[in-house]
Amino acid sequence: MNTVSTEGQFTENVAPGVRVTFQAERLRYQVKSSMHEKVVIDNPQFGRMMMIDGAVQLSSADAFVYHEMMGHVPLLAHGRAERVLIVGGGDCGLAAEVLQHRGVRQVVQIEIDPQVVKLARRYFAEVNASVFNDRRFRLIIDDGAEFVARTDERFDVILVDSTDPGGVSLPLFTETFYRNTQRCLRPGGVVVTQAGVPFLQAQAFRGSMERLASVFPLVSCYLVPIPCIFGGPLAFGWASSTLSHDSPTLDVLTERQAASGIETRYYTPELHKASFALPRCVRDVVDEATGTGEPPARSARKIAAGRPRVAGSAP
């Protein structure tokens, strides 16, 4: 279990043999519940930070990068989204970005841990305060995997803003879950998922791509560098039955953003398109998952190529 030490530091074990330490000028909150271990600290570089189960989830300095790119990319690509489902996303910053789209009539958010929402409201109000006064927002405390399995509701966009696979979040990375999200989509809908850091989480990333591709005919991912997340850009999985990741054109995206009136700090239509330009080692994994490339194990080794060997690690 990662904790804030007596020296005022928080050490995150990001991968075997790799640790990142954040100075904690002040420990705001720390508790371990039946669902998650949660820590909130103040850091001189990243501002207020939240860690869940030993991993950085949010910082006040760069939260806009994650939230804008997970929200605006699929909504502007879709162009007519009215109903949006968010699975996870307990800090509610993603919901705040989605609700900036005037055409969105309802955002349903399913969060399994009510304590995460309470902490976010208390310590990260600057990223989520608007959400709780918006009548279009409906928060449901429930298991996201169980919700999509039983609901009769349908959505234009489904955003899976989860922690890394493990514990209560593990069901959100299964083929069954992805199949249920497909069932919950309206025609023309799209699912975007948090798919991990490909360089440090090569196997988990490949597994996510393969399971998405086993359900959806159109699968890809886009990469977003999140400063507080170590190990290279974070991948967001893209899955749809009809909406390709390379649609629409740059001109259409530019027109849609201008018409929306949304002011962003990170997202631009040009960056939207560029984020889908993948390094070869990542593109190969996606191609293999979708049945157009070489065997998966070979490409997983490509992502890992160049990493120093750790004593005692498997080849």
**DSSP bridge pairs for 26:** 42
Q: How far apart are CA 155 and CA 185, in angstroms?
A: 5
Residue type, 9: Q
Find out whether 29 and 38 touch, Cβ atoms under 8 Å: yes
Q: How far apart are CA 309 and CA 23, in angstroms?
A: 29
Residue 62 among the catalytic residues: no
Angstrom CA distances, 172 to 42, 107, 211, 236, stand at: 30, 19, 11, 14
User: Tokens at residue 69, please?
Assistant: 């790119």
Query: CA-CA-CA-CA torsion for 197, 198, 202, 205, nearest 10 degrees?
Result: 80
Q: Among 62, 91, 161, 284, which one carries the catalytic annotation?
A: 161
User: Tokens at residue 268, please?
Assistant: 């631009």
Find out whether 207 and 171 touch, Cβ atoms under 8 Å: no
Q: How far apart are CA 21 and CA 251, in angstroms?
A: 43
Residue 95: which region, alpha, beta or left (left: phi > 0; alpha: psi -120 to 50)? alpha
- In b/e form, how buried is each residue of 2-24, taking b as 16+ CB within 10 angstroms? bebeeeeebebebbeeeeeebeb
Q: How far apart are CA 91 and CA 293, in angstroms?
A: 38
Active site residues: 161
